[in-house]
């Protein structure tokens, strides 16, 4: 009986509690932030931020500048020729000439030098050569060397319009050939500039001529 009375009393108590309670609104809920313990805050602040590596752009390959090339200055043909034709004497110029590669003009001029002035000083042989060259440029005689030499009535050694044969092994002819090359190349100044005639001292060319020089056994006129 006592147990039954206890159960009944409990039932009435629950019923009364329910009858006196009311619904709870969401707005009535206490939203006050619950402060975190200080130890928790220290742990959060102690965490170091994670570093995110930033990709580094590769350095561009260094530019290598080409070293400037030194300018090469080449001597002009005129400078080279001047150096080659610089001699201390006419004899040195004669000795420097090559007997090879002889053209027709050189051969004709050498023949005239040989027959007209072999045995004369080198200056006299060069002056004879220059007379023939000057004639070819004067407009008063043929325009090429061989025609000047072979012109009728000009040089007594010419036979039938031809130059007699010469022993090319003779030293005097080799000298005449060297002088001819020097004269045609204008490698040495003429000792009788602008001369158009020459003769022996006891003979004077016809006409109104002017004496320029006397070299060896010849007198030169223009």
First CA to last CA distance, the chain: 183
pLDDT digits (tens, 9 = 90+) for 165-205: 999 999 999 999 999 999 999 999 999 999 999 999 988 87
**Residue 168, token pair as written in the block:** 């090319």
**How far apart are the C-alpha atoms of 51 and 200, rounded to whole Å?**
115
**Residue 198, token pair as written in the block:** 């020459």
Domain at 88-194, CATH homologous superfamily = Cell wall hydrolase SleB, domain 1 (1.10.10.2520)
pLDDT of 207 strictly over 50:
yes
pLDDT digits (tens, 9 = 90+) for 48-60: 444 545 455 555 5
Map out the domains of the chain as residue ranges.
88-194
Q: pTM score, two decimals?
A: 0.62
pLDDT digits (tens, 9 = 90+) for 86-117: 899 999 999 999 988 899 999 999 999 999 99
Close Cβ partners of 129 (under 8 Å, ≥ 6 residues apart): 109, 112, 113, 179, 180, 182, 183, 184
| CA atoms in the 13 A half-sphere facing the CB of 122 | 18
Close Cβ partners of 40 (under 8 Å, ≥ 6 residues apart): none
């Amino acid at each position: 009986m006592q147990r039954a009375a206890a159960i009944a009393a409990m039932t009435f108590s629950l019923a009364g509690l329910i009858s006196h309670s009311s619904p709870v609104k969401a707005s009535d809920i206490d939203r006050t932030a619950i402060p975190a313990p200080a130890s928790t805050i220290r742990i959060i602040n102690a965490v170091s931020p994670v570093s995110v590596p930033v990709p580094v752009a590769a350095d561009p390959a260094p530019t290598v500048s080409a070293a400037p090339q030194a300018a090469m200055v080449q001597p002009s043909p005129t400078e080279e020729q001047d150096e080659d034709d610089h001699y201390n004497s006419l004899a040195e110029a004669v000795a420097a000439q090559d007997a090879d590669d002889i053209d027709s003009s050189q051969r004709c001029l050498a023949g005239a030098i040989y027959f007209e002035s072999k045995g004369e000083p080198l200056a006299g042989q060069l002056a004879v050569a220059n007379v023939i060259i000057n004639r070819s440029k004067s407009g008063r005689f043929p325009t090429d060397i061989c025609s000047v030499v072979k012109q009728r009535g000009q040089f007594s050694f010419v036979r039938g319009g031809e130059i007699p044969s010469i022993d090319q092994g003779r030293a005097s002819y080799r000298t005449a050939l060297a002088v001819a090359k020097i004269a045609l190349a204008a490698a040495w100044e003429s000792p009788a500039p602008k001369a158009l005639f020459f003769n022996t001292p006891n003979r004077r060319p016809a006409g109104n001529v002017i004496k320029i020089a006397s070299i060896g056994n010849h007198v030169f006129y223009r």
